[in-house]
Structure 1
Amino acid sequence: MTNRRKMMQATAAAVLLASSGGRHAFAATDVAGVKFEDSASVAGQTLKLNGAGIRTKVIFKVYALGLYLPEKKTGTAEVLASQGPRRVQIVSLRDLSSEDFGDAFMKGLNANTDQAERTRLLPQTKAFGEMFGAIPGLKKGDVLIVDWVPGVGTQCQLNGKKIGETVPDLAFYNAILRIWIGDNPADSSLKPKLLGAS
């Protein structure tokens, strides 16, 4: 009887697994109440959540951020050299004006690029700045996605709607990533989380 019961339990477990398709679609990482799915699809390719954490300023939680890559990477140079699409997902944890967010973006960009690179990326930085000017800001719970699509460029979505122009240069996307994982990251405690530290 006990063997039969074990067999029935095993069968029930197998049926449950089969009904879920054996997928981990509901697997997610929780960061300050924000759930980051363990995978995301960009340009038809499945990306893995490399890491996620919170950007804090003084004592305030500003936003939660997740970094998605084709394969897990643990170093900044590896991330920047990564082939294929990439995604940064930002979920606002408080209301932010477009000026505040844009200023923080520019400060982070300037802190992690040299003068020559800033000059070269100026047209694309201006285009990105216009995007911040076109939105009123981020409300608590808003989701901003910044994707790199090979052969296309940097694309942004706010709450699922495309915003701004596509920016074509990979160097610009890498400059954006360095805001959080560069030598002078916006938040030194966030950087190791994005690079997969537990």
Structure 2
Amino acid sequence: MRRFLQLVLMALLAVSLGASAETVEVGKVKFPTQVDVGGQRLVLSGAGIRTKAIFKVYAAALYLKTPATTTEAVLSQAGPKRIDIHMLREVDGNELGKLFTKGMEANAPRDELARSVNGILKLSELFAARKALVEGDFFSVDYVPGVGSTVLLNGKPSGIDPIKEPEFFTALMRIWLGDKPADDDLKEGLLGLKKLRRSN
């Protein structure tokens, strides 16, 4: 009987590991279909590629508790969220910080932008300190209610304190999901409007 229970547990573990190992491939980057943020399981809501001219700049993925297909649904959804970005080419750190700032300025309401200044400065300083993000570098911003937005760089703490203002994460998301998105195709991808190729 004990041997039977061991086999059942091993089978269940294998199924569980298989499910957690499922990924989608975007621009040669494999994003997991599930992640843990703030002790809660989030699912991949959408992903896509940021292109500029003919160049692929980065691949991005959005994680939510429940997939959402409109900007309003993403921004209004309660609970933890994550935006995950993987560089596909080298980008100057200062330039990336400026582009993100411009994206927020172009899309966020004035009051939301005013409350996001602290976070914008911290993110810009982080990128500037790196000088450049090269192909293969990746960073994520995790938003957890009551904690704020935590920035991870290459899977490790970035060294900056959590950005407590909830408006910052909303303004950040507007870069890609606002009325003047950085890339229309990427907006569609993050909103789950493009089919993704699954792999293991």
Q: TM-score, normalised by structure 1?
A: 0.87
Provide the rounded CA distance (Å) in 2 between the counterparts of 1:15 and 1:83: 34
Q: CA RMSD in A?
A: 1.9
Aligned residues between the structures? 185
Shift of 1:150: 1.4
Question: Which residue of 2 is the match for residue 147 of structure 1?
Answer: 142
Post-superposition Cα deviations, 1:136-170, rounded to whole Å, max 9, x if no partner, equal: 22110111111101111111011122112211111
For residue 165 of structure 2, the aligned residue among 153, 162, 169 is 169
Question: Which residue of 2 is the match for residue 111 of structure 1?
Answer: 106
Task: Please list, as runs of the form range in 1=range in 2, the aligned pairs for 1:32-181 lying within 5 A after superposition.
Answer: 32-163=27-158, 164-181=160-177
Provide the rounded CA distance (Å) in 1 between the counterparts of 2:15 and 2:113: 48
Unaligned runs of 5+ in 1: 1-13
Aligned letter for 2:129? A
Unaligned runs of 5+ in 2: 1-7, 195-200
SS in 2 for 1:141: coil
Higher relative contact order (CA 8 A, sep 6+): 2
CA contact (8 A) 1:97 1:138 kept: yes
Post-superposition Cα deviations, 1:6-25, rounded to whole Å, max 9, x if no partner, equal: xxxxxxxx999646235412
For residue 186 of structure 2, the aligned residue among 160, 166, 190 is 190
Aligned letter for 1:196? G
Shift of 1:109: 0.8
For residue 20 of structure 1, the aligned residue among 11, 14, 29 is 14
Provide the rounded CA distance (Å) in 1 between the counterparts of 2:191 and 2:11: 31
Provide the rounded CA distance (Å) in 2 between the counterparts of 1:119 and 1:35: 35
Aligned letter for 2:65? P
Once the two structures are aligned, what percentage of the paired residues are identical?
41
Larger Rg: 1
CA contact (8 A) 1:63 1:94 kept: yes
Shift of 1:125: 1.9
Q: 1:92 to 1:19 in 2, by over 3 A?
A: same
SS in 1 for 2:175: helix
Q: TM-score, normalised by structure 2?
A: 0.86
Provide the rounded CA distance (Å) in 2 between the counterparts of 1:74 and 1:64: 18
Provide the rounded CA distance (Å) in 2 between the counterparts of 1:167 and 1:19: 37
Q: 1:18 to 1:166 in 2, by over 3 A?
A: closer
Provide the rounded CA distance (Å) in 2 between the counterparts of 1:38 and 1:59: 28
Aligned letter for 1:49? L
SS in 2 for 1:165: coil
